[in-house]
Structure 1
Amino acid sequence: MTSQAPLLRAAYAPIAINRSFYDQVASTSDRVLLDSFILPIRSGRAWNVSAGDVFRISTPEGPQVGDLNLWNAHDSRERFWASRTRQLQAAHVTVYDRLWSTLPFLRPMATIVADSLKDYGVDTEGGRVHDLLGARCDPYINKYLTGVDRDVHCHSNLTRAVKPFGLTEFDVHDVLNVFQCTGLNSEDKYFMVRRPRTTGHHIEFFAEIDLLVALSTCPGGDLSLRMWGDDIAPGEDPAIACCRPLKVEVFRLPPGALDGWERWNAETYKGNHGL
């Protein structure tokens, strides 16, 4: 029997992207800083980013995983869709990859324009960075595994972060794990490893629509300790042992920098699902 794999791989054509425009965005130095803050360890925060602006997440004090959520700032029903992004982009994302929204909207919400880890590739353990495979940590699975109630998991951090914006736990969704290094092993099981080990990495996103963004500094920190650092040496503070803050900056581009940018206006499905 003839293999169908080539046909399946060809089923979806690449969606065109204007790389020269995003290169221009990444290289624009005379940006205006609109906002800048440090997100403390094991906490969450939400903020708005206007279409055409850029937000940057960095690791000022060393390796730290961040769990990222996105919503349409004007309609929280439209939110980041991790699984479709995995299909259209990759399981680990970098420059030129887009973060796509849920049905029935299905459009790019943000595009990655800069990534200091874009050349990381695959490490000796099979890991890659900026993960779309794993779920956010949450207090429910922690209770199953440990019998302990904890309120600093990414799900809880994000829930607290979006409450001032009128959103609830039900709005928190699957994440992009920025700076997290993961993969699938020979048994097709998910694994995480501590990477990278240096200070000062960053990733930048261009907002394709008006966004509400939320970020959690994962209690797993740099993933060097199992179960959120609960099994560290006696007397050592788990927050200090594996966790570090993240820095967030929001920039406005100068006049003319958006020349060549076209808001998403693709032909879309207009049927009624056979109803």
Structure 2
Amino acid sequence: MGNYPAAYQAGEGSTLDVDRAFYNRVVRDKSARKLVDSFTVPIRSGRAWEVPKGHLFRIVTIEGPQVADLNIWNRHDPRERMWASRTRQLQSAHVSTHDRLWSNLPFLRPLVTITDDSLADYGTDSDGGRVHDLLGTRCDPYVNKLLTGEDFHFHCHSNLTRAVIPYGLTEFDVHDVLNVFQCTGLNDNDQYFMKACPAQKGDYLEFFAEIDLLCALSTCPGGDLSVPLWGPDARDPIDVCRPLGVEVYELDASVLGGWESPQVSGYKGHHGMHPGRVKWEAQ
């Protein structure tokens, strides 16, 4: 792998230039957080929940290795949602502490900042695998039908769809995900691969809500991905499926001093057009 510089780089004082001291303080001062919600997401299911801005939420492997698919929206306007591909460019294909998950156009602002990651030291393994990826997306019943000819209704796409219906959203609102605890990479043929989940009981990934959020999580029906899902050796991986825990914390106002919720992009959205004119003007 080369060491060519990244295309998108942070300028001093830009939104990409994360105030690490602030987020480190949030993590360090455990006495300044209060648990306000916690629940379990059973195997092969999904759950949606709200997180107010300035709160933390944590996804925990309560019984052992299990991968999850995470979607995030602006609670007040679901047209604003996590944008996996731009996050890959602005942050990296695999995310960890101090990385941010960004929203789609025309909003383009951080929805969350990752504050703590018990797998941060996993790094890159001998196969090029890393954890918490934005490379792939959710499994879905459509590609399963394509590959196997069979119907199966508990893929992550379906789990997320069922989870958000009570909030007035539909399948069309489900979007590309963050694969939490999932170990992935690209092989020598530039093809996406998945490995068995390296998480153990008690591992977690923690996020700071930059705006009011609606989140949804699917406990992947592939479980810990130690069993092939497709191909000649495929079998039902239900024996390696485990539930996940979610915790939401309110932070003391003293910890939030100096923090402000990010604004949407300052670009006015004219795209070279002017009121009363149809023709755009080239520069």
Contact 1:49–1:210, Cα closer than 8 Å, also in 2? yes
Mind listing any 5+ residue stretches in structure 1 that lack a counterpart? none
RMSD: 1.9
Specify the alignment match of 1:164 in structure 2. Answer: 166
Q: After superposition, give the CA deviation of every residue in 1:79-126 in whole Å (9 maximum; x if it has no partner).
A: 000000000000000000000000000000000000000111001111
Instruction: Tell me the SS of whatever aligns to 1:84.
Output: helix
SS of the counterpart of 2:150? coil
- For 2:79, the equivalent position in structure 1 comes to 77
What's 2:179 paired with? 177
Conserved in 1, the CA contact under 8 Å of 2:27 and 2:115? yes
Give the match for residue 19 of structure 2: 18
Native 8 Å contact 2:103 2:109 kept in 1: yes
**Which residue of structure 2 lines up, in the alignment, with residue 141 of structure 1?**
143
Q: Does the 8 Å contact 2:182/2:194 carry over to 1?
A: yes
- TM-score, structure 2 normalization: 0.89
Conserved in 2, the CA contact under 8 Å of 1:82 and 1:176? yes
Structure 1 residue 265: Cα displacement: 3.9
Q: Secondary structure at the match of 1:226?
A: coil
Distance 1:201 1:254 in 2: 25
- Residues 28, 253 of structure 1: 8 Å contact kept: no
Aligned length: 265
Instruction: Quote the Cα distance in structure 1 between the aligned partners of 2:43 and 2:130.
Output: 23
Q: Is the 8 A contact 2:221 2:237 kept in 1?
A: no
- What is the CA-CA distance between 1:147 and the residue it aligns to? 1.0
Corresponding residue SS for 2:223? coil
Query: Displacement, 1:67?
Result: 0.1
Q: How far apart in 1 are the matches of 2:240 and 2:116?
A: 26
1:29-48 matches, cutoff 5 A: 29-30=30-31, 31-48=33-50
Q: Which runs of structure 2 are paired with 1:215-254 in the superposition (5 Å)?
A: 215-227=217-229, 231-232=234-235, 238-239=237-238, 241-254=239-252
Relative to structure 1, is the Cα distance of residues 197 and 71 closer, same or farther in structure 2, using a 3 angstrom cutoff? closer
| One of 96, 99, 102 as aligned partner of 2:101 | 99
Cα separation, partners in 2 of 1:117 and 1:200, compared to 1, 3 Å: same
